[in-house]
Amino acid sequence: MILPPRGPSRVYATLTFFDSLVPGIMLAGGVLFFTKVAHLDAVEVGSGLSLAALAGLVVAVPAGRLGDRVGHRRLLIGLSLLRGLILAGYQLVNSYPVFLAVACLAGFAESAVAPVRQAYLGAITTPVNRVRTLAFNRVVRNVGATLSTPALGVALALDTPVAFRALIGLGAVSVLIVALVATRLPETTAAATTTAGPGPGPDGTARAKRMNPKRTSPKRTSPKGAKRRGVLRDRPYLTLSLLNGVLIMHMELLEIGMPLWVTHHTRAPAWATSALLFTNVLVAIGFQMRVGRTVTTVSSAARVLRRGGYFLLTAAALFALAETLGPLLCLTALFTAVVLLTLTELLQSAGSWGLSYDLADAARLGEYQGAWSVGTHLIRSCGPVLVTLALSTLNATGWLIIGLIYAVAAAGAVPLARRAEAAHGARAKTPQPTTDTTLPVEVPAPHKA
């Protein structure tokens, strides 16, 4: 695994590492904290987290748009501080209404920070190195999530309120470290990126035009009658974002569908689920960079999404088949299925990166990333119910239906991407009205990590 060049990309990878510790801590530790310490029942916790995810949908696009105006780094620092305070606020939860209020605040902050973080990474990279940089950060995120499991193991072993409170506190501290690391990043805005000189800078990242905050740039006004064009008018892009939301369902299949299926419908031994999840992590770390290198254009991004559909359909068939097999053959089918499911994950993430950035309006990168995340949040909030319902009522047939739906949706990425690319090209050739939407900010020279 090759490290990014010194400069913003490497500092951003450090930020990603500390940010990745939070999901690993909160995924199981948060649920146990709410049930064991706050004394909420499982239904209350599940419903609260789902409502929080849905509530977060309303802030993704506005947060991205705000980042385009005031600077993505500045907003990233502010939102990270807010996330840390909200996570610390979980310590005060003692009833369902309080839990719901804090969870919704956390949902707002999580949904707001995602497009800002992605837009910033898009601003400091170029189309040549962007997917490779994103793939590296995905590997770092997997490593960080894996390394956070010992803290969860200690809390589970001690099984005391103090241990679980300390675990939640550790998550809050991790987010505050993210804010601290972000202060070492150079400021950038979408406007600054679009005025960059040709080609990447010496560290492989996009050049950013220095602007003197003491000088006021002349106000540019839109032509009379011209309408500002935003992501909500870009129907091909929005359609692809919703399609990508469907394709993100591989996460629910791995995290929810697979453990339930292996435990209740196969003859696999009790240790199989943990071994399968560990296999997923190993394959993801080992192959994410290689898969990322295959995405260089919009068409290649769409093709890897389609290929992922074939892999998931095959994996679904193997999961269904495992129900009828003896222990040894069952394990073989399950491990093969998880490898294919992980490859689907890698292909989907690489394809999603290529489409979400290359088809976006460079002047409104945060706004576009916010819209792209809407489909993901929808499936992440509704997916668990859909997956558990399909597998519990239809059994093996449920796997096959999910696989077919996924494959058909993935195949649709190619024509939809072709249409969106044509619309994007036409928009790029048409002179767009300019508005004075960017504050003059100084972009300092990149810090060395």
Q: What is the pLDDT of residues 246-255, one digit of tens each?
A: 999 898 888 8
DSSP 295: -
Q: Which amino acid is at 395?
A: N
Q: Which residues pair with 119 in a beta bridge?
A: none
Nearest to 115 by CA among 78, 61, 74: 61
Question: 13: Cβ–Cβ under 8 A, 6 or more apart, which residues?
Answer: 3, 4, 136, 137, 140
Q: Residue with structure tokens 């010496």?
A: 202
**Domains assigned to the chain:** 8-194 (1.20.1250.20), 231-429 (1.20.1250.20)
Q: Which amino acid is at 38?
A: A
Nearest to 151 by CA among 282, 22, 281, 15: 22
pLDDT in tens, the chain (449 residues): 566 777 888 899 999 999 988 876 776 667 778 888 888 887 787 778 778 878 888 888 888 888 888 888 999 999 999 999 999 999 999 899 999 999 899 889 988 898 898 888 888 888 777 778 888 888 888 888 778 777 777 887 788 889 889 988 998 999 999 999 999 998 875 444 433 333 444 344 444 443 334 433 344 343 343 345 577 788 888 889 899 989 998 988 888 888 889 888 899 887 888 788 889 888 988 888 888 888 888 899 999 999 999 999 999 999 999 999 999 999 999 999 999 999 999 999 999 988 888 888 878 888 888 888 887 777 777 777 788 888 888 899 999 999 999 999 999 999 999 988 887 775 555 544 433 333 333 333 443 33
Distance (Å, whole) CA 374 – CA 129: 25
Look at residue 97 in the predicted model and tell me its pLDDT: 92
The values of phi and psi at residue 206, to 5°, are: -65, 145
Give the burial string for 420-435 (b: 16+ CB within 10 Å, else e): bbeebeeeeeeeeeee
Look at residue 335 in the predicted model and tell me its pLDDT: 96
Question: 299: Cβ–Cβ under 8 A, 6 or more apart, which residues?
Answer: 414, 417, 418, 421
The values of phi and psi at residue 122, to 5°, are: -65, -30
Look at residue 219 in the predicted model and tell me its pLDDT: 42
Distance (Å, whole) CA 323 – CA 397: 11
Q: Which residues pair with 200 in a beta bridge?
A: 206
Cα-Cα-Cα-Cα torsion 35, 40, 42, 48, nearest 10 degrees, comes to -120
Angle at alpha carbon of residue 12, lines to 9 and 18, rounded to 5° = 150
At 206 the three-state DSSP class reads strand
Distance (Å, whole) CA 285 – CA 136: 9
Look at residue 306 in the predicted model and tell me its pLDDT: 94
Whether the CB-CB separation of 19 and 174 falls below 8 Å is answered with yes
Look at residue 390 in the predicted model and tell me its pLDDT: 87
Look at residue 294 in the predicted model and tell me its pLDDT: 85
Give 166-184 pLDDT, tens digit per residue. 988 998 999 999 999 999 9
Look at residue 133 in the predicted model and tell me its pLDDT: 84
Look at residue 255 in the predicted model and tell me its pLDDT: 80
Look at residue 200 in the predicted model and tell me its pLDDT: 43
CA distances from 16 to 22, 124, 192, 369, 381 (A): 10, 15, 23, 17, 23
Look at residue 433 in the predicted model and tell me its pLDDT: 43
Distance (Å, whole) CA 82 – CA 105: 9
Q: Which amino acid is at 123?
A: A
Distance (Å, whole) CA 190 – CA 123: 7
